[in-house]
């Protein structure tokens, strides 16, 4: 039996409440298209670091996300939401949060690879490690949709993480992102298809899009890629929703015809 997955693309602003109102509409749109699992983009609740500690400490953040999942009886993955860092670290974690159809938080993945780069766009330099503490653990979870592997944005450039998820049994790998316009235009689609082909997994990628302020611009082009590297759906540079069906029988056929596992 096939299941339907969806990616939400949005232009998050600073105000978390404004973002929640817009995201609730897009989640409802995905639900209306019979999505069983919905992925939100990275930092979907705010693109302004001034709000990150507040979001990390506010229980209402998790309650709102859980309520969205329960209201539509679907699996909801909040691409990256600030969460407290362990110990005495004053930073936060960039966490992918998975809610089941009952609205329960069932697992969390903390972003491993932080975006400390020189891009050459209007923003220029990005230093995520100033704000975020890196995670350490590879995370996947078994769901009725399939075995879901969790990654976030810059992780996309590290194929060993994706191979580890495939080795752990992943069928579908999720990539919530805020890929910049500059790097997205150059590498986004190529990297998504490479990760899908290498792992023989479905890839579900939800990206931010458009201008978030006078310096920060993201690429959009959220995609769903099949295990053969075929494009099953793609948006452009405006907010929206894409859906595609996951067929685990077809996934098994691809892997049987071209075995790549290290066994």
**Annotated domain spans of the chain:** 3-257
CB neighbour list of residue 237: distance below 8 Å, 6 or more residues apart: 209, 210, 219, 220, 221
Q: How many CB atoms lie within 10 A of CB 150?
A: 28
Q: Which of 153, 193, 201, 209 is catalytic?
A: 153
Looking at residue 226, its pLDDT comes to 98
As a whole number of angstroms, the distance between CA 58 and CA 65 comes to 12
The structural architecture, per CATH, of the domain 3-257 is 4-Layer Sandwich (3.60)
Looking at residue 262, its pLDDT comes to 63
Tokens of 105: 């938080």
Q: Which of 42, 128, 193, 209 is catalytic?
A: 42
Q: Which of 44, 111, 128, 193 is catalytic?
A: 111
238: exposed, middle or buried (Cβ count in 10 Å: 0-12, 13-18, 19+): exposed
Q: How many CB atoms lie within 10 A of CB 235?
A: 20
| Of 195, 189, 160, the residue nearest 174 (C-alpha) | 195
Give pTM, 2 decimals: 0.98
Series of mean pLDDT values for 10-residue runs along the chain (263 residues):
94 98 98 98 98 97 98 97 97 98 98 96 95 98 98 98 98 98 98 98 98 96 98 98 98 96 67
* 160 counts as catalytic: no
> Do residues 221 and 188 touch, judged by C-beta distance below 8 A?
yes
Looking at residue 41, its pLDDT comes to 98
Looking at residue 2, its pLDDT comes to 85
* 42 counts as catalytic: yes
Looking at residue 261, its pLDDT comes to 82
* 44 counts as catalytic: no
Looking at residue 263, its pLDDT comes to 55
């Amino acid at each position: 039996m096939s299941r339907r997955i969806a990616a939400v693309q949005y232009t998050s602003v600073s105000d978390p409440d404004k973002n929640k109102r817009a995201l609730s509409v897009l989640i409802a749109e995905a639900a209306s298209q019979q999505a069983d699992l919905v992925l939100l983009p990275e930092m979907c609740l705010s693109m302004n670091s001034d709000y990150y500690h507040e979001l990390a400490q506010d229980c209402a953040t998790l309650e709102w996300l859980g309520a969205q999942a329960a209201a539509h009886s679907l699996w909801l993955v909040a691409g990256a939401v600030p969460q407290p860092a362990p110990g005495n670290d004053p930073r936060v974690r960039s966490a992918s949060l998975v809610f089941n159809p009952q609205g329960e938080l069932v697992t969390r993945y903390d972003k491993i690879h932080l975006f400390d780069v020189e891009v050459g766009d209007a923003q220029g330099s990005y230093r995520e490690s100033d704000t975020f503490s890196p995670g350490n653990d590879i995370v996947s979870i078994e769901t009725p949709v399939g075995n879901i592997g969790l990654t976030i944005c810059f992780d996309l450039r590290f194929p060993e993480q994706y191979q580890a998820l495939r080795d752990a049994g992943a069928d579908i790998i999720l990539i919530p992102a805020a890929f910049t316009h500059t790097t997205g235009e150059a590498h986004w689609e190529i990297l998504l298809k490479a990760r899908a082909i290498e792992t023989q997994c479905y890839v579900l990628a939800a990206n931010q899009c458009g201008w978030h302020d006078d310096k920060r611009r993201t690429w959009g082009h959220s995609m769903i890629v099949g295990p053969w590297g075929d494009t099953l759906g793609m948006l452009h540079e405006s907010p929206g929703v894409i859906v595609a069906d996951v067929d685990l029988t077809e996934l098994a056929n691809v892997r049987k015809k071209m075995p790549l596992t290290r066994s």
